[in-house]
Amino acid sequence: MAEPAPVSRRGRRPAGQDARAEILAAARDEFVENGYQAASLRAVARRAGVDPGTVRHWFPDKARLLTATLGVAGIEPDRVVERVSAGPVESLGERLAEAVIGIWDFDGGDTVRVVIPAVMSDAELRGLLPQFIGAAILAPVMRALDVPDAPLRTALVASQMSGVLLTRYLIPVDPLASLAPADVARLVGPTLQRYLTGPLPDAGGLAR
């Protein structure tokens, strides 16, 4: 008499490495299709076929899930925001510059030199990078400031910092590429400060 075939188990998978990989794949799809702001850990869990608690086991919040999707899992945006926000508003630009540079400089820039080209060569992931800088880091800072024209200010800050990261790590231009993060922050901080809190000219009505 033939033995009955084993019954396959259905339902949620355990929180193992396979589940983590499937969560990252699902997160990539979710972020690409719906954007960072609209994505949720529950939606990612549904895509991956796991319980939301399994997602949180690996990634406590959405920002950390995004950094892992981009390949920079060691970065914790909430802590970056805390460092930037701790201090007088008058020196916010300098603190922001030093914090953003510090994200990429934690291992001498080795990670960013690998991650950013890979991200930029992927049409889908390319759109997630500005979301990481803008939504995960700059947006909480702008909400705390409660200043007018926040979207325009965020875009201006992101453009400035993108240029610094480009000429510091991807296409190194000395002496900028060789300066200590604190020195770069002192140089670009005043520009960021103006973007963050200073008056903006009327850019054809866009600044309203």
Domain boundaries, the chain: 17-59, 77-197
Give the separation between CA 7 and CA 12, rounded to whole angstroms. 16
DSSP type of residue 26: H
Identical fold for domains 17-59 and 77-197, yes or no, is no
Judge whether residue 24 has pLDDT over 60: yes
Sign for the CA dihedral angle at 33, 38, 40, 43 comes to negative
Q: What is the pLDDT of residue 89?
A: 94
pLDDT tens-place string over residues 44-71: 999 999 999 999 999 988 888 887 887 7
CATH number corresponding to 77-197:
1.10.357.10
Judge whether residue 207 has pLDDT over 70: no
Q: What is the pLDDT of residue 107?
A: 67
DSSP three-state, residue 38: helix
pLDDT tens-place string over residues 117-160: 767 777 767 777 777 777 778 888 998 898 999 999 998 998 89
**Band of residue 205 on the pLDDT scale cut at 50, 70, 90:** low
Q: Please tell me whether the peptide bond between 175 and the residue prior to it is cis, using omega within 30 degrees of 0.
A: yes
Q: What is the pLDDT of residue 9?
A: 37
Q: What is the pLDDT of residue 45?
A: 96
End-to-end CA distance of the chain: 80
Report the CATH fold assignment for 17-59.
Arc Repressor Mutant, subunit A (1.10.10)
CA distances from 110 to 22, 60, 79, 114 (A): 26, 26, 21, 7
Sign for the CA dihedral angle at 128, 77, 83, 182 comes to negative
DSSP type of residue 4: P
Q: What is the pLDDT of residue 204?
A: 57
For tokens 């603190």, the residue is 95
pTM (predicted TM-score): 0.68
Judge whether residue 100 has pLDDT over 90: no
